[in-house]
Structure 1
Amino acid sequence: MTAVPVALIEVTDVRRTTPHMVRVTFAGAGLDDFPTWPDQQLKLLFPRPGRRAPRLPDAADGDAMSWYQAFLALPDDERPWMRSYTVRSYDPDRHRITVDFVLHGTPATAGPATRWAASATVGDLLARYGPAAEYAQPLPLDRADWLLLAGDATALPAIGSLVEALPAGTRALACVEVAGPADEQRFTTRAELTVRWVHADGRHDALPAAVRALTFPPGQVFAWLAGEAGAVRALRRHLVDERGIDKGRIDFSGYWRRTLTQDDAPTEEDLAEAQERLAAARPPQD
């Protein structure tokens, strides 16, 4: 059986890159032969209060479903919080992964991942689940004349990893929502990249409004959308209904929900989005 991709990881470096972003570097088992690709997703497990490391189930028989069932069977006050993140970068020489954490809300309203990241120090422990190479979805560069990358601050790590991997000659337009000018980042890329920074200023519709105002380059586009689920849905409706873009040419993901966490049950809109993502997974139509 294939081993369940679960391991403890230890913080080796912490750096505040912008006022609302913390970059954390990890070492740990399994990182010497770590599969890597742009927009690489994995799950991080955060310890409950009073624990130095997250408690993990004993199940290790190589069956992912059995492991997850054992994870769910842990007592509620001991089961780690599990959240999805993007691998910002991988260092194959030092066997390190780097993850960027967006600091949401205030100390009183922040969730467990933000609370952990805001106080992370060298030596702290998390656990990782994944990544799994079968979930890698390379951008269809051979089927598009240019790329649209649109997302909020939570999508910045994925957008950064994507644009930095684009080959020379690729045309890309990134529209990224951040809190303000101090949260803008610089990307190193071989592509012909244009970045439009959107400052939210407390607005929930800032990103969809900015994309609606864009003048699109000529040619066939492939769109990559990520961020708050409601904004992503609005973006996708705009691209399909108003721009006439085929659904098969849009990759989209709602990373978070404005009033709910990943621990809350999915809403009807969430379930509908999951069905749409399955439908959109078909090859783009030429």
Structure 2
Amino acid sequence: MSQMPYGFFHPRVVRVEHVSPTLRRVVLGGQEIAGVVSGGLDQRLKIFLPHPGQDAPVLPDVLDLDWYARWRQLDPDVRGIMRTYTVRAVRQDPPELDIDFALHGDLGPASRWAQHARPGDRLSLLAPVVADNGGVDFRPPEDTDWILLTADVTALPALAAILGSLPPGTPVRAFIGVPHPDDRIALPTEADARISWDPADLTTAAFPPGTPYAWLAGEAATVRGQRRHLVNDRGFSRAAVTFSGYWRRGTTEDDLLEAAAAEAAA
């Protein structure tokens, strides 16, 4: 790859939209957003949030292959708070990028920030600048006959983007868990989609014939259990199941980063 697949961006909040009791959409804008390239329907990026009292997040001065090591060397009480999110949508006229935040009170810095975000607030992104950027998981093979999707509320924005972009008539079975009845948002799609808002239905649902492809996202232990069910009980090929732990119960992203760094240094 001839260039870094990601770049630092420093947008401001343009507006905030109420999606559901648990989902709040933060729309980011600024001319530099025109440089963000989404490589797929569940495109990941990093957000960096300021600490209370800061006007903007503190980041390394230069983006290169060593940026993460330099970010880790900064004082944790000063450096930008890093979290991973999916892109809900990118538009070019005007340049805007949507991120849907799952709110859970003041239990985490991202939820706390999103609850109080106002137009003009600043944050930073490490976002893709080329389509081939390694931050996309939803990649059904060409011989896929039908698609299975699962998500909790943290992965619902990515699932909604996937559903909305599937070709007309694509057979889809989706199983979604949300904490509030009003989180059962509309999911426009031209696919032939059957949607259940009870994830437990996955274990008893009838599936279409043909070759499946499954995309599972949400709490890490839950998606691992769903994968085991599909492979062991439903006969899915392991290669036909993509699963992503968007979060882990009882563990923060900071904990996961520290554990990964310790393992790499061992």
TM-score by length of 2: 0.90
Deviations 1:156-184 (A, max 9, x none): 11101111111112111111100132111
SS of aligned partner of 1:154 = coil
SS of aligned partner of 2:164 = helix
Partner residue in 1 for 2:10: 8
CA distance, structure 2, for counterparts of residue 185 and residue 141 of structure 1: 28
Which structure ranks higher in relative contact order (CA pairs < 8 Å, sequence separation ≥ 6)?
2
Q: Which one-letter code corresponds to 2:99 in the other structure?
A: V
* Matching of residues 260-275 of structure 1 within 5 Å: 260-265=251-256
Shift of 1:13: 0.7
Segments of structure 2 that go 5 or more residues without pairing to the other structure are: 261-266
Q: Which one-letter code corresponds to 1:47 in the other structure?
A: P
CA distance, structure 2, for counterparts of residue 91 and residue 175 of structure 1: 28
SS of aligned partner of 1:18 = coil
Partner residue in 1 for 2:234: 243
Segments of structure 1 that go 5 or more residues without pairing to the other structure are: 199-206, 271-286
Shift of 1:68: 1.5
Of 130-139 and 183-192, the range deviating more from structure 2: 130-139
Shift of 1:265: 3.6
Q: 1:154 to 1:171 in 2, by over 3 A?
A: same
1:18 aligns with 2:28: no
Q: Which one-letter code corresponds to 2:41 in the other structure?
A: P
Is the 2:138–2:242 Cα contact (8 Å) retained in structure 1?
Answer: no
SS of aligned partner of 1:30 = helix
Partner residue in 1 for 2:47: 44
Q: 1:126 to 1:115 in 2, by over 3 A?
A: same
CA distance, structure 1, for counterparts of residue 116 and residue 67 of structure 2: 29
Percent identical pairs in the alignment equals: 39
CA distance, structure 1, for counterparts of residue 183 and residue 114 of structure 2: 17
Shift of 1:76: 1.6
CA distance, structure 2, for counterparts of residue 265 and residue 162 of structure 1: 27
Which consecutive aligned stretches of 4+ in structure 1 deviate over 6 angstroms post-superposition? none
Partner residue in 2 for 1:175: 175
SS of aligned partner of 2:174 = strand
Is the 2:138–2:215 Cα contact (8 Å) retained in structure 1?
Answer: no
Q: Which one-letter code corresponds to 1:18 in the other structure?
A: S
Count of equivalent residues: 254
Measured on the aligned residues, the alpha-carbon RMSD in Å equals: 1.9
SS of aligned partner of 2:154 = helix
Partner residue in 1 for 2:216: 225
Aligned with residue 133 of structure 1, among 131, 134, 149: 131
Partner residue in 1 for 2:164: 164
